[in-house]
Chains A and B, each alone.
Chain A
Amino acid sequence: MARYLLGRALSLIFVLFVVSVITFALMHTVPGGPFDEGKQRLPEAAKANIMRKYGLDQPIWKQYLNYMWNALHFDFGIPYQVPTETVASLIAKTWAITFQVGLMTVTLAFSLGITFGMVAAYRRGSWVDTGVTFFATLGTTLPNFVIALWLILGFAYGLKLLPSGGWSEPENWLIPGVFSKDWILPVLAYALAPMALVARYTRASMVDALQSDYVRTARAKGLRDRTIMVRHVLKNAAIPMVTALGPIIPDLITGSIFIEAMFRIPGLGKYFVTSTFNRDYPMIMALMLLIAMLWGITYILTDLAYVALDPRVRLGGKMR
């Protein structure tokens, strides 16, 4: 187990290295730079000064080594778009918000998705099943900004129940420090698609498990339906679900540009677009490394969950 984890950690470091090289090479081969003049021309000396300040006058391999050396010391540089911050502080500040939305979305999507999927599998062909299929189709086919717009029109402007967007400070929350009305619509709009996915997977793997011999045995023993569903069916159905659904979590916690734009959430999302547009090299590098890191960690966690759920699985070792 320890050896397996060490191996995975090493391969994660290798992936991070490859991602950093490719991203660095790509962004520097692209024409245009962060300090290209628009209409107003800068004096040569001033431009040379700026380039020297950010180390952009050095050869590319040296720039890369410098960046990586600093990154190893948790210094990710200064974002060209917001020179008053550091990349680390900007990401920490904006990602905190994105992460919060993502975490609530994951919680909602998985709790409701699994519940709906279970009910749909248990009562196949009932109205619950039809409803779950209908919402699953909506959730997986519609762009989330379409759903976001309908929620805004319905609940913010139509019923005037909830704010249409924005992100208020904790002291202005509905229950200060605990809960804000601002969260409801974005999380709903964001959660519908993953919830649909979770419900569909849950239903499919539960239907499989329900037809298995051990369920018949459990019924024959006289166990109650609820015990069978939770202790036998869900536990076995969870194994394929972990593999299929684990990887949607890093996607959700890095946020959606669309949701953040629709609800004016000051999160990380917009920097994916603006950093590329402004050739904000330090910011692009940091974002790509962050995503690659989250993916790697998720895969390791997925494997570990596999071991926890299925005693037959052994990581790294040989089959006995």
Chain B
Amino acid sequence: MTTTPILDPEAAAAERLLRKPRTLWSDALRRFVHNRLAMGGLVLVLFFIILAIFADLLAPYRYDKADFSKVLQFPFVDPQHPLGTDEVGRDFLSRLIYGARTSLTVGLAVQLIAFSIGIPLGAAAGYRGGAVDFVITRIIDVMTAFPGLLFAIFLITVWGGGLEKVIVVLGMTSWIGVTRLTRAQFLTLREKEFVGAARAIGATEGRIIFRHILPNALTPLLVALSFGIPAAIFAEASLSFLGIGVNDPLPSWGKMVGVSSAYIRVYWHVGLFPTILIALTMLGFSFVGDGVRDALDPQLNL
């Protein structure tokens, strides 16, 4: 019979104390890094962000520099325009790179609007309840009843297109989800013991909301953000595809696809390249979003 070595319980306890503490975030990071699909998505997203930030350095030309003597050149022919030119002779590679900037601007700005409206409204509705909750919930109900795309088209016909208008219009429709999510979180969290304890020791309402409840609601909000950015990029591409989004000469991948349908019979590159970039970006964000969700909430099984 073999005897198993008896561990010194005190030494084990000491070792446990010396070990680096494992927090929610370090656990999540570890899970995310081990998720191959999520890391692949992250590479795509980083590529996209680098294109957007360093567009001025990476693009060989300005996005609006037209050369009417070189209209609709094919790719891989002229070394000066490796990906060809568009219908007014603008370098296609440069426009694709600057298109990333348009997409990223819309994606981030729309989420900024959505969260800065959604979190206060949702917090007020969920924490206060009563009449405040009633009014906010009714507004959400009315907004959900209208189809999002039709609402955006309607607003843009009134205000006109352009980057800022697109951002505002998409922001006006995308806060609903954030509000609903924040409200639901606050509704459950305000009944928890730690909130009661904070109230018992006399914490102010603002302190309870911002220091106690909001940090606990951060995880689902972060997941919502990682899905919200690609949703806004998707919506901008759709509006621009219809010709009611970003105005010329600012490049947008969606607009490039919309315009391309007139030439695509011969000039396949004006359609193919922007769709590839849209696809890679959307897939990248979607893998990262799935990864973030799985990493932060491993019990959540969707």
Q: Which residues does A use to contact B, with CB under 8 Å? A: 19, 26, 30-32, 137-138, 140-143, 145-146, 149-150, 152-153, 157, 164, 257-258, 261-262, 272-273, 276-277, 291
Contacts and interface: CB of A to CB of B under 8 A. Distances in A.
The 6 closest A-B pairs by CB, nearest first: A146-B275, A141-B286, A141-B282, A276-B157, A149-B271, A149-B275
Nearest to B283: A141
Contacts of A276: 150, 153-154, 157
Contacts of A140: 286
A67 to B, nearest CB: 19
A272 B156 CA distance: 13
B154 A26 contact: yes
Given A19-B145, A30-B157, 17 more contacts: A26-B154, A31-B158, A141-B282, A142-B278, A143-B237, A143-B282, A146-B278, A149-B260, A150-B272, A152-B271, A153-B268, A164-B265, A257-B242, A258-B238, A258-B241, A258-B242, A276-B150
Given A31-B158, A272-B150, A276-B153, A146 B279 contact: yes
Interface string B191-206: 0000000000000000
Given A31-B158, A145-B257, A273 B282 contact: no
Contacts of B43: none
A153 B271 CA distance: 9
B275 A150 contact: yes
Interface in B221-256: 230, 234, 237-238, 241-242, 244, 254
Interface string B256-267: 011011001100
A294 B301 CA distance: 33
Contacts, number: 75
B298 interface: no
B215 interface: no
B147 interface: yes
A134 to B, nearest CB: 10
A142 B282 CA distance: 7
B264 A273 contact: no
A261 B258 contact: yes
A257 B258 CA distance: 12
A146 B238 CA distance: 10
B268 A157 contact: yes
Nearest to A291: B147
B242 A143 contact: no
Given A257-B242, A272-B153, A146 B268 contact: no
Contacts of B150: 272, 276
Which of A26, A143, A152, A273 has the most chain B CB within a 10 Å cutoff? A143
A261 B261 contact: yes
B232 to A, nearest CB: 13
Interface string B273-285: 0010011001100
Contacts of A26: 154
A143 B278 contact: yes
B261 A262 contact: yes
Nearest to B266: A157
Contacts of B278: 142-143, 146
Contacts of A19: 145
A29 B12 CA distance: 74
A257 B244 CA distance: 13
Contacts of B261: 149, 261-262
30 contacts: A19-B145, A26-B154, A30-B158, A31-B158, A32-B158, A141-B230, A142-B278, A142-B279, A142-B283, A143-B237, A145-B238, A145-B241, A145-B257, A146-B257, A146-B278, A146-B279, A149-B261, A149-B271, A153-B268, A153-B271, A153-B272, A157-B265, A258-B242, A261-B241, A261-B242, A261-B261, A262-B261, A273-B242, A276-B154, A276-B157
Interface in B24-70: none
A157 B242 contact: no
Contacts of A164: 264-265
Contacts of A258: 238, 241-242
Nearest to A262: B261
Contacts of B271: 149, 152-153
A261 B262 CA distance: 11
A262 B149 CA distance: 18
A153 B276 CA distance: 13
A262 B254 CA distance: 12
A22 B238 CA distance: 26
Contacts of B268: 153, 157
A52 B238 CA distance: 38
Contacts of B244: 273
Contact of B157 (A146, A277, A291): A277
A146 B286 CA distance: 16
Contacts of B153: 272-273, 276
Contacts of A150: 272, 275
Contacts of A273: 153, 242, 244
Contacts of A137: 283, 286
